[in-house]
C-alpha cells in the first residue's frame, strides 16, 4: 500500500499502536482464546491492567480535542472505575480486579463508540469540504484543458489581461497530488466506516456472555478506526494546503516562523475550524497549541 510522505507522523503513531496491539494486546487475546490452557487470575489481571491502561492513554488526546462536557464526564467516570480496578490489582485481589476490569472495558467501548462517531463525521466533513474545488481543478488544470493553451501563448503584461491567476499555476503540477489525496482520504474513511458498521462487532456487543477476547477485539478495532480517520483527515488537510498555497508566505510573516516551524496552529493554509484536526493528527492538544499564539 502506498503511503504519502505527509502522513509520516500519523503513520508513525499508527505503527506504534499496531506494535502495542501486536504485543501485549495480541498476547492478551491469544491467551483468552486458548481455553485449554489454565491461566491464573494474576496473569489475567495483569493483562487486563496493561491493555486497559494503554487504551486509556490512547483516548486521552481524543477526549481533550473533541470531547463535549458529557463525553468528558463519561471519561472521568471511566478513569475512576479504572483506578478502583487497579487498586484491587495492586493489592493482589486478582479475582476482584478481573471483574472490575471487565466493567471498565465495557464502559470504554461506549466511550469509544462516541469518539468514533465524532471522528467519522469530522473526517467526512473535511474531505467533502475540498471535493468540489478539487474536482474543478482536476478538470481545468490539465494539458488537455483550455487553460493549458494560454501557457503557450506570449503574454504582454502591459497590454494583455491575465487569463490564469499566477498563484494557481502550480495546480498544473499539483493536480496529481490532489487526486492521490482524494483517493487515499476517501479510501481510509470508507475503511473506518466499515469498522463502525461491522456486523460482527455489532453481534458481539449484543451477546450477554461476551468474552474478554471479544471485548478486547472491539476496543482494538474501535481504536484502529480513529487512526484511519486521522490518516483520512490529513489527506483532506493536505488538499487545503494546496488550495490555499498563497497563504503559506503570509503565515510565515504573520507568525514570524520558518518553513520548518510552520506547525498547524501557525499554518493559515489550513482553515481555522480544521486546525484542531491537524493538531490531533499529530497527537497535539489543540487548546495548548492555541496558547502559542499569545506569545507571537
The larger pLDDT score, comparing residue 132 to residue 124, is at: 124
pLDDT 10s digits, 84-107: 999 999 999 999 999 999 999 999
Task: Express each pLDDT in 48-72 by its tens digit.
Answer: 999 999 999 999 999 999 999 999 9
Please determine, for residue 202, whether its predicted confidence score (pLDDT) is greater than 50.
yes
Q: Which of 49, 20, 14 is nearest to 212 (CA)?
A: 49
- Higher per-residue pLDDT: 146 or 80: 80
DSSP secondary structure string for all residues of 75-110: HHHHHHHHHHHHHHHHTT-HHHHHHHHHHHHHHHHH
* Cell numbers at 138, concatenated: 482536476
Q: Taking residues 147-173, what's their average pLDDT?
A: 54
What pLDDT, on the 0 to 100 scale, is given for residue 166? 60
pLDDT tens-digit readout, 240-277: 999 999 999 999 999 999 999 999 999 999 999 999 99
The pLDDT of residue 129 is above 60: yes
Domain extent listing, the chain: 5-243
d(CA 212, CA 216): 6
Amino acid at each position: 500500500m502506498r503511503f504519502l510522505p505527509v502522513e509520516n507522523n500519523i503513520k508513525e503513531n499508527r505503527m506504534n499502536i499496531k506494535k502495542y496491539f501486536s504485543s501485549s494486546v495480541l498476547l492478551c487475546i491469544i491467551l483468552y482464546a486458548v481455553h485449554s490452557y489454565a491461566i491464573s487470575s494474576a496473569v489475567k489481571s495483569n493483562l487486563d491492567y496493561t491493555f486497559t491502561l494503554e487504551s486509556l492513554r490512547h483516548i486521552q488526546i481524543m477526549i481533550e480535542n473533541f470531547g463535549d462536557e458529557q463525553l468528558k464526564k463519561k471519561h472521568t467516570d471511566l478513569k475512576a472505575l479504572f483506578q478502583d480496578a487497579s487498586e484491587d490489582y495492586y493489592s493482589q485481589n486478582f479475582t476482584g480486579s478481573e471483574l472490575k476490569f471487565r466493567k471498565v472495558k465495557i464502559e470504554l467501548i461506549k466511550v469509544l463508540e462516541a469518539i468514533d462517531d465524532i471522528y467519522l463525521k469530522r473526517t467526512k466533513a473535511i474531505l467533502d469540504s475540498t471535493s468540489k474545488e478539487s474536482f474543478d481543478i482536476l478538470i481545468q488544470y490539465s494539458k488537455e484543458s483550455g487553460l493549458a493553451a494560454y501557457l503557450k501563448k506570449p503574454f504582454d503584461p502591459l497590454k494583455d489581461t491575465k487569463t490564469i491567476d499566477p498563484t494557481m499555476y502550480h495546480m498544473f503540477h499539483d493536480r496529481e497530488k490532489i487526486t492521490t489525496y482524494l483517493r487515499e482520504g476517501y479510501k481510509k474513511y470508507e475503511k473506518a466506516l466499515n469498522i463502525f458498521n461491522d456486523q460482527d462487532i455489532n453481534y458481539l456487543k449484543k451477546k450477554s456472555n461476551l468474552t474478554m477476547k471479544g471485548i478486547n477485539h472491539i476496543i482494538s478495532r474501535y481504536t484502529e478506526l480513529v487512526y484511519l480517520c486521522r490518516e483520512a483527515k490529513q489527506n483532506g488537510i493536505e488538499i487545503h494546503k494546496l488550495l490555499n498555497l498563497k497563504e503559506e508566505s503570509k503565515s510565515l510573516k504573520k507568525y514570524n516562523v520558518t518553513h520548518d516551524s510552520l506547525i498547524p496552529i501557525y499554518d493559515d493554509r489550513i482553515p481555522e475550524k480544521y486546525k484542531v484536526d491537524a493538531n490531533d493528527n499529530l497527537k497535539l492538544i489543540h487548546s495548548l497549541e492555541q496558547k502559542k499564539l499569545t506569545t507571537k
